[in-house]
Amino acid sequence: MHDPRPDHPSLLTVDDFERAARARLTKMAYDYFRSGADEGRTLRENRRAFRRLEIHYRVLVDVAERDLRATLLGTSVPFPILVAPTAYHGLAHEGAEIASSRAASELGTIFTLSTLSTTSLEAVAAASPGPKWFQLYVHKDRGLTRALVERAESAGYRALMLTVDTPILGRRIADVRNGFALPEGLVMANLADAAACSPAADRGSLLAAYVASRHDASLTWRDVEWLGGLTRLPILLKGIVRPDDALRAIGCGAAGVVVSNHGARQLDGAPATIEVLPAVADAVAGRGLVLMDGGIRWGTDVLKALALGASAVLVGRPVLWGLAALGGEGVARVLATLREELSTAMALAGCPTLASIDRDLIRRTRGSMPAP
């Protein structure tokens, strides 16, 4: 196992890595990775909602050995913490997605590559043997969408993660003010003419210009079924916060859902994902996989998500902070830190296995009210 204890004694938590990353990133890059939509209410709530949950631990349980293993869509992982799809790893470090995917492979967990990566999906697939999933947007150009699916299958990706919460781009004010664009030498490597996409004067952001020109805002449930007809790969729908949408996803043939509000980067005022996770998990009721992302910074956050119905969690920003701070070694340290924090939390909560982590462990803080 990778040892998270440092040569860098100041880097002990995910927040430590964020501080180190901020010192190394340009303002434009840090603001792009860090910010949420509009006033950032949902961004704050994603983390605050975890603080309102208490762990009512059990005692006198044999926890001398803890088993963190999980099996997800047929892939066995040694701990239930996966790498979420995030765009533009090349902004964080020259090693980009290859460094991040190699770190995930080193620890045995699943790496999810974004369509908007700065390294091609083929190059990332070839760089390490670890399991990989591919995140997909449905484009107006369905031929491009079909080609991305075929490329992902050919390269050995094991699942597709369709993002369904981005018919248009939420307003990221920091990106507009900064006139966000990729620096010279970085491109959206999976898109043949990505270099031709530049910031639009009325949107002020490269990403906003890309989404406005490429994404299909008319996407519906019929398109989920269409996508299922293109591929043998299991499909997960990412961006689900409602039980009825989760049920419809399974009914349309999805292998599961990711309870996600896009890192609070789309609709400000959307619920914190940990708040809606139990209802979504209850609706799915074992008929598909339920994953969750948003606001996870501690191993205790992972424990709470597992207790409330997730089979595993995905982390996005923490991986980027590790990458910016120390390259691939930083990504490995962040993942190993969260893994060890989860193992410690399981021991202290009286949970020797993932199966023993149940909803009875969790209570809302007495008298707590949602933060303003």
| Lowest mean per-residue pLDDT among 33-47, 69-83, 132-146, 230-244 | 132-146
Q: What is the mean pLDDT of residues 10-16?
A: 96
Is the CB of residue 334 less than 8 Å from the CB of residue 321? yes
More confident residue, 241 or 367: 241
Please indicate if the annotation marks 85 as binding a ligand.
yes
CA dihedral 289, 294, 295, 301 (to 10 degrees): 0
Please indicate if the annotation marks 295 as binding a ligand.
yes
The pLDDT assigned to 9 comes to 77
262 classed as catalytic? yes
Q: Per residue, what are the HEC states of the chain? A: CCCCCCCCCCCCCHHHHHHHHHHHCCHHHHHHHHCCCCCCHHHHHHHHHHHCEEECCCCCCCCCCCECCEEECCEEECCCEEECCCCCHHHCCCCHHHHHHHHHHHHCCCEEECCCCCCCHHHHHHHCCCCEEEEECCECCHHHHHHHHHHHHHHCCCCEEEECCCCCCCCCHHHHHHCECCCCCCCCCCCCCHHHCCCCCCCCEHHHHHHHHHECCCCCHHHHHHHHCCCCCCEEEEEECCHHHHHHHHHCCCCEEEECCHHHCCCCCCCCHHHHHHHHHHHHCCCCEEEEECCCCCHHHHHHHHHCCCCEEEECHHHHHHHHHHCHHHHHHHHHHHHHHHHHHHHHHCCCEHHHCCHHHEEECCCCCCCC
Please indicate if the annotation marks 293 as binding a ligand.
yes
More confident residue, 197 or 293: 293
Q: What is the mean pLDDT of residues 205-212?
A: 71
The pLDDT assigned to 203 comes to 47
Q: Checking DSSP bridges between strand 362-364 and strand 53-55, what pairing results, if any?
A: antiparallel
Q: Measure the CA–CA gap between 260 and 300, rounded to whole angstroms.
A: 19
For 336, phi then psi, to 5°, come to -65, -35
The pLDDT assigned to 211 comes to 73
Q: Quickly state the pLDDT bin for 198 (edges 50, 70, 90).
A: very low
* % pLDDT > 90, the chain: 87
Please indicate if the annotation marks 297 as binding a ligand.
yes
Does 131 have pLDDT greater than 80? yes
The pLDDT assigned to 195 comes to 46
Q: What is the mean pLDDT of residues 142-164?
A: 97
Please indicate if the annotation marks 130 as binding a ligand.
no
Domains of the chain as residue ranges with CATH: 14-364 (3.20.20.70)
Does 199 have pLDDT greater than 60? no
Q: Quickly state the pLDDT bin for 370 (edges 50, 70, 90).
A: very low
Q: Quickly state the pLDDT bin for 20 (edges 50, 70, 90).
A: very high
Q: Measure the CA–CA gap between 152 and 231, rounded to whole angstroms.
A: 10
The pLDDT assigned to 234 comes to 98
Please indicate if the annotation marks 265 as binding a ligand.
yes
**Nearest-5° Cα angle at 317, 257 to 111:** 55
The pLDDT assigned to 368 comes to 52
The pLDDT assigned to 95 comes to 98
The pLDDT assigned to 184 comes to 92
The pLDDT assigned to 88 comes to 97
More confident residue, 195 or 325: 325
- Angle of helix 299-307 relative to helix 328-349, nearest 10 degrees, comes to 60
Please indicate if the annotation marks 317 as binding a ligand.
yes
Cα distances from 314 to residues 22, 200, 202, 292, 338, in angstroms, run 22, 32, 33, 6, 11
Q: Measure the CA–CA gap between 267 and 317, rounded to whole angstroms.
A: 18
Please indicate if the annotation marks 316 as binding a ligand.
yes
Q: Quickly state the pLDDT bin for 214 (edges 50, 70, 90).
A: confident
The pLDDT assigned to 67 comes to 98
Please indicate if the annotation marks 87 as binding a ligand.
yes
Please indicate if the annotation marks 213 as binding a ligand.
no
pTM: 0.94
Is the CB of residue 234 less than 8 Å from the CB of residue 266? no
For the segment 270-299, what is each residue's pLDDT rounded down to a tens digit? 999 999 999 999 999 999 999 999 999 999
Q: What is the mean pLDDT of residues 66-73?
A: 98
Q: From the CA atom positions of the chain, what is the Rg in Å?
A: 19
Q: What is the mean pLDDT of residues 65-84?
A: 98
Q: Measure the CA–CA gap between 307 and 206, rounded to whole angstroms.
A: 39
Q: What is the mean pLDDT of residues 166-179?
A: 94
Does 253 have pLDDT greater than 80? yes
Tally Cβ neighbours within 10 Å of residue 156.
14
Tokens in use for 97? Answer: 């997605």
Q: Which residue among 89, 93, 215, 262 is the active-site one? A: 262
Q: What is the mean pLDDT of residues 30-39?
A: 97
Average pLDDT, the chain: 93
Is the CB of residue 346 less than 8 Å from the CB of residue 37? no
Cα distances from 296 to residues 160, 238, 263, in angstroms, run 22, 16, 10
